[in-house]
Amino acid sequence: MSNQSSPLKRILLTCFAILGMSVAGVIGAGLGGGAVYLAVQEKLNSITVPSPAPAVVITQPAPAAPASGPTNTTVNIETAVTDAVDKVGPAVITVVNQLAGGGQASGSGVIVSPEGYAVTNNHVVEGNSSLTVIFRDGQTAPASLVGADPVADVAVIKIQGKVP
């Protein structure tokens, strides 16, 4: 009979040991978590945030009103860009399209040869009954469509008459 109680004792002791270790683990975890919580709270309470410096406002007296009315000032700014615009500006044209169904469309173009060929967009000249070109100086001239590519949206026109 002592042999039968021995395995039962062993099982009971093992169960109590497991239960004891589990309780000790839970208590240890609770104590550890509490310690971490307190440490974090203490750290948060000890953080100081510097207050912003007071704003400094500088007031200046308003400038005195000019004795006379407004004056115009001319500023001469010459750069490579303004030089380039001056050189190519006369080559930029406006293309006016009298649409076959009535109405008008317009867009820009660029003269690419002294013979009067100019490049513009296909959507500017599409469906035209007549084309007119307006030069930078305001002069106008008729033009005709030489060719167009709707996919690339590019067209070539020929200006009739003298190109300024």
Is pLDDT above 80 for 34? no
CB atoms within 10 A of CB 149: 10
Percent of the chain topping pLDDT 70: 79
CA distance 130 to 95: 10
pLDDT confidence tier of residue 10, bands split at 50, 70 and 90: confident
Task: Give the integer Cα–Cα distance in Å for 77 and 128.
Answer: 41
Q: What angle do CA 160, 89, 93 make, to 5 degrees?
A: 35
pLDDT-based confidence at residue 3 (cuts at 50, 70, 90): low
Average pLDDT, the chain: 81
Q: Which residue has the higher pLDDT, 31 or 115?
A: 115
- The CA-CA-CA angle for residues 108, 121, 160, to 5°, reads 65
